[in-house]
């Protein structure tokens, strides 16, 4: 599971960023469909997207739902959202902080003695903002242990085991001194939510987000590997070509760092509610969106990526898990939003796909601006390559 961010950081680096001369243009369905077709042509089996501009919306799909089939992807299908999960988990943590049940400066040792070797120095703030120094457990080869993809669905693990994998490598740096993306942070946050509320994280998500927002297709599965209902099939490269990964990974391995299942409509609705203040009080929302650059230059808030563009900041997250690559961003002024889903996490030509996705994002969120009018800038490939280790 990767952080993603590899594509989205380009919004910072694009040399075309300049002041917005006039009001943004209206959505152009033909342009958006052309951009989505270009993403698929660049090296993925299929994809779909939802774009909104106020009350106007566009939904499109391109390519194939199955590389060996003939049907187009269903834009209403459920998929694994990967690290977009982090925005949901961070929201619950910040709600608990607003209720006085947690504090940003509480340390991990308070809740779990001896879980981390330096638990007294690692705070909730560090975990939320990727500044704890914890090694990313997804980079430990023991996570998959050479188990074939088709057998991983039966491999159920608990969060403590994932954290033990991470801490066996020792801290990467003193807490707070640097910012490096690590999925381990959000596994620990999930454990803290459960400790404080005395219920599992899924129950808290249902009570605090899923039910209030009527997200009926969204869930955090515990160890059920099957993507039920109207599922989007996902594919990954197992070494000798694409194989189906839809039901091939036990979600316990992703935990609260990336296991949520949802739809484009419901992910967009979540970010709309979050960023409009329906889920958090103003002080907590301000904290969440106050981003600091990670060591790779990506501005990261508390479970959110906040990127400047020519038409203002865009806020959201992206995620990658076996079978799926997705991006969910909203303009800071709340007028525009986009959710893009690709049915593979291993594009045939990742550089070309990255370029095409950036064009789609900018045409959706900044139509008619200088940044959207041109091709991604020359810093694109070097920027992506510097971020590909974030998995």
Residues ≥6 apart with Cβ < 8 Å to 172: 133, 134, 135, 178, 180, 182
Distance separating alpha carbons of residues 218 and 198, to the nearest angstrom = 22
Distance separating alpha carbons of residues 306 and 12, to the nearest angstrom = 10
Which residues have a catalytic role annotated?
83
Give the single-character DSSP code of 335: S
Nearest to 122 by CA among 174, 169, 199: 174
Residues ≥6 apart with Cβ < 8 Å to 30: none
For the CA atoms of 92, 128, 342, 248, what is the dihedral angle to 10 degrees?
-80
How far does the chain reach from its first CA to its final CA, in angstroms?
A: 5
Tell me the backbone φ, ψ of residue 235, rounded to 5 degrees: -135, 145
Token digits for 291?
Answer: 């981003």
Give the angle subtended at the CA of 95 by the CAs of 90 and 101, to the nearest 5°. 110
Q: Are 166 and 140 in contact (CB under 8 A)?
A: yes
């Amino acid at each position: 599971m990767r952080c993603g961010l590899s594509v989205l950081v380009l919004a910072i680096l694009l040399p075309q960023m300049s002041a917005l001369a006039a009001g943004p243009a209206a959505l152009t369905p033909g342009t958006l469909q052309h951009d989505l077709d270009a993403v698929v042509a660049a090296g993925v089996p299929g994809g779909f997207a939802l774009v909104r501009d106020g009350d106007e919306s566009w939904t499109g799909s391109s390519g194939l739902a199955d590389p060996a089939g003939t049907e187009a992807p269903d834009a209403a299908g459920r998929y694994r959202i990967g690290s977009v999960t982090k925005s949901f988990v961070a929201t619950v943590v910040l709600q608990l902080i607003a209720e006085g049940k947690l504090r940003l400066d509480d340390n991990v040792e308070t809740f779990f003695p001896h879980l981390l070797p330096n638990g007294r120095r690692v705070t909730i703030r560090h975990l939320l903002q990727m500044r704890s120094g914890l090694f990313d457990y997804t980079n430990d080869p023991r996570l998959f242990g050479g188990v074939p993809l088709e057998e991983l669905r039966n491999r159920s693990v608990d969060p403590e085991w994932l954290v033990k994998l991470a801490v066996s490598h020792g801290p990467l740096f003193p807490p707070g001194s640097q910012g490096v993306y690590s999925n381990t942070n959000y596994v620990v946050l999930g454990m803290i939510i459960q400790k404080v509320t005395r219920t599992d994280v899924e129950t808290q998500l249902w009570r605090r987000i899923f039910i209030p927002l009527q997200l009926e297709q969204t869930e955090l599965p515990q160890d059920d590997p099957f993507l039920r209902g109207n599922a989007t099939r996902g594919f990954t490269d197992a070494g000798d070509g694409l194989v189906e990964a839809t039901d091939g990974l036990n979600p316990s391995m992703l935990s609260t760092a990336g296991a949520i299942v949802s739809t484009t409509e419901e992910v967009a609705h979540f970010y709309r509610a979050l960023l409009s203040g329906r889920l958090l009080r103003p002080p907590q929302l301000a904290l969440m969106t106050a981003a600091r650059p990670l060591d790779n230059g990506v501005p990261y808030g508390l479970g959110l990526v906040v990127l400047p563009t020519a038409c203002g900041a865009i806020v959201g997250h992206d995620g990658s898990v076996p079978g799926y690559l997705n991006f969910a961003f909203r303009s800071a002024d709340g007028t525009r939003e986009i959710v893009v889903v690709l049915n593979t996490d291993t594009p045939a030509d990742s550089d070309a796909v990255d370029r095409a996705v950036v064009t789609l994002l900018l045409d959706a969120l900044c139509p008619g601006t200088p940044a959207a009018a041109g091709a991604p800038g020359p810093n694109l490939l070097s920027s992506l390559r510097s971020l590909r280790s974030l998995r």
